[in-house]
Amino acid sequence: MSDDGGLWLLAIGPTGAAALYWALYRFYRNTDKSHAFERETAVDAKPVTGSNDKVDKITGTRQTRIDGDNVAAYRKRVQRVE
Amino acid sequence: MSNTQGPPPLPPPPVPASPGPGSPQDVPPLPGELGVDPTTLPGPIRDELLAPDPQAIDTASDELKDGLNRCPKCGSTDIRQRAGTDLLICLYCRHEWRGERVEEAFGFGEGIDQLSGTVIASGARDIAADAASLMTFKCTGCGAEVTVNTDHAMTARCHWCRHVFGVNEQIPNGAVPDAVLPFHIKQDDAVARIRQFVDKRRLFALKAFKEQFTPENVVGVYLPYMIVDGNVSADVAGHGEVETRRYTRGNDKNKQTYYDADVYRIDRHVDFTVDDLPIESSATRGNLDTGTNTNNIINAILPFDTKNAVKWNASYLSGFTSEKRDRDVEQLRPRLEDQLLSIARAQVHASVARFDRGVRWEQERLAVHGTRWVAMYLPVWLYSYHQPGRNGGMLHYIAVNGRTGETMGSVPIQQWKLLSVALTVGTFLEGAALWFLAHAS
Ligand SMILES: [Zn+2]
Ligand SMILES: [Zn+2]
């Protein structure tokens, strides 16, 4: 990690091979395809309501996103409350 | 983002790290999304990836042969589906009529926001435990006994006088659906689409698959679905972060980006209705585990224009096979609730856009005020190929939506060939990286 200027380049070979493999695998097998019901169903929604309360402050983190970001992972279930 | 000033600017990695084969439990990618940039790939692979997708060719249909449904005007049994329409036509007196659309006949399109409790159409009732699969009819033409196996078909032909029998009465065992959506895509069209789909995927296809590929063997199947309307409310709660400051620390050689952020506790509530959500009502088809089957392919050609479904009439089923439903409303309810929660999460997404560092939803709640269930047969052209292997191998499907022509498939892969190409490309990239490192310093 010390000399960031170049060593990460060495990851290109394995990363590129894996990415190409999985991309072509998906192109043939389409394991990632399913009915996109979230955008293809007729949904009639009332305006969304809710609240935001500031509860904390973070300084100097190196993470680019919130821990456990699942805002776009609509199908990943979280704790269900009654 | 991270530009180093010492050595000359580095070329960006050619392809992003890939998340593996994907699963139907992920939100599916938008059409055309690939994960790699085709222009960076060798010629033959690029040509294959960029080849056109299956296109609409012809939506006329003359598949439906005579049924024993009687003409309302003259009583003749010589009835066909009129090509490319949902009309039935009497070939004796030329009388034409339309199977009544269930939408109007039962008022299925209306009052979804008033739904309360669970409304079940008669064809969606629980399947009787002793429901017999075999039904016997006495042929009115010649007196012979004709048997219909409702597991696979809803019609059969008399061996002696060629009359066609259909299970037209709704026997009170839940075996006969409320509605049927007739095929519009004819077989030639389905064959052409399947051929195009596979032509785009030949380089790495299993050799045996290519040799045995005969898309003419496609079969038209009516698959059982529950079409569900729902009136629900949902709540989600979690935490979101808003970036307040971004700065770098360290010297030129070792620069790091740091972030400051405000953390919010957020919750959202949404009331909504869904209209015509289709759910597989066969346990086999509803199992989307891509490790053991390729049913997700059939799932991916949804949705259908279910608003045009007509009241059950076996005349539409002549010449096709069908699969029987084996799941009742209560067994399908968890799947429905799961999908409603996913829809709710998609609905609230825009309202948390200001949390630019993302949101971690931690809790969700669903209140189902009312649902309405209609059992329906939907038309699918299926081409299947059985790939031998461990645990019985894998059954691959290429499926064509019998209404819209939407085509999706799974083509078995020649693993060693794909692996060696990936490794070759990887080795080439690594060589380029090493060359670059040697010359940059
Ligand atoms: Zn007639
Ligand atoms: Zn007969």
Task: Using the predicted structure, report yes or no on whether residue B380 has a pLDDT greater than 70.
Answer: yes
Q: Which residues of chain A have a CB within 8 Å of the CB of B103?
A: none
Q: Within a 13 Å sphere around the CA of B12, how many CA atoms are in the beta-carbon half?
A: 9
Does B148 or B10 have the greater pLDDT score?
B148
| Contact between A58 and B113 using a beta-carbon 8 Å cutoff | no
| Contact between B348 and A33 using a beta-carbon 8 Å cutoff | no
Confidence category of residue B270, pLDDT binned at 50, 70, 90 = very high
Could you give the residue ranges of the DSSP H alpha helices within B262-402?
283-286, 295-300, 329-348
Distance B79 CA to ligand 2 centre (A): 17
pLDDT averaged over every residue in chain B: 83
DSSP 8-state code for residue A44? E
* Predicted complex ipTM: 0.91
Beta bridge partners of A56: B263
pLDDT averaged over every residue in chain A: 89
By Cβ distance, the residue of B236, B297, B432 closest to A30 is B297
- pLDDT the model gives residue A5: 58
Distance B75 CA to ligand 2 centre (A): 17
Distance B70 CA to ligand 1 centre (A): 8
- pLDDT the model gives residue B173: 56
Task: Using the predicted structure, report yes or no on whether residue B300 has a pLDDT greater than 50.
Answer: yes
- pLDDT the model gives residue B83: 63
301-320 of B, contacting A, C-beta below 8 A: 301-303
Residues above pLDDT 90, as percent of chain B: 44
| Contact between B345 and A74 using a beta-carbon 8 Å cutoff | yes
Confidence category of residue B67, pLDDT binned at 50, 70, 90 = very low
Min Cα separation A24/chain B (Å): 8
Tens digits of per-residue pLDDT, A42-56? 999 999 999 999 999
Min Cα separation A20/chain B (Å): 6
* Alpha carbons B277 and B98: distance in angstroms, whole number: 25
Confidence category of residue A8, pLDDT binned at 50, 70, 90 = confident
Confidence category of residue B84, pLDDT binned at 50, 70, 90 = low
Q: Which residues of chain B have a CB within 8 Å of the CB of A55?
A: 239, 263-265
Distance B145 CA to ligand 2 centre (A): 8
Q: Is the pTM of this model over 0.80?
A: yes
Min Cα separation B42/chain A (Å): 11
Determine contact: B370 vs chain A, CB below 8 A. Answer: no
Q: Which residues of chain B have a CB within 8 Å of the CB of A11?
A: 13
- Mean pLDDT, to the nearest integer, of B152-158? 73
- The full DSSP string for B234-294 is EEEEEEEEEEEEEEEES-TTS-EEEEEEEEEEEEEEEEEEEEEEEEE-SHHHH---TTT--
* Alpha carbons B221 and B154: distance in angstroms, whole number: 11
- pLDDT the model gives residue B59: 32
For an interface test with A, the pick among B225, B307, B343 (most A C-beta atoms closer than 10 Å) comes out as: B343
Cα B364-B114-B232 angle, rounded to 5 deg: 10
For an interface test with B, the pick among A4, A10, A37 (most B C-beta atoms closer than 10 Å) comes out as: A37
- Mean pLDDT, to the nearest integer, of B19-30? 83
The ligand whose atoms approach the alpha carbon of B143 most closely is 2
* Alpha carbons B381 and B222: distance in angstroms, whole number: 9
Confidence category of residue A1, pLDDT binned at 50, 70, 90 = very low
Q: Are the C-beta atoms of residues B70 and B77 closer than 8 Å to each other?
A: yes
The ligand whose atoms approach the alpha carbon of B97 most closely is 1
Task: Using the predicted structure, report yes or no on whether residue B268 has a pLDDT greater than 80.
Answer: yes
- Mean pLDDT, to the nearest integer, of B125-154? 71
| Contact between A32 and B343 using a beta-carbon 8 Å cutoff | no
- Mean pLDDT, to the nearest integer, of B405-410? 95
- Closest alpha carbon to B209 in B385, B428, B82: B385
* Alpha carbons B300 and A33: distance in angstroms, whole number: 6
183-242 of B, contacting A, C-beta below 8 A: 201, 204-205, 236, 238-241
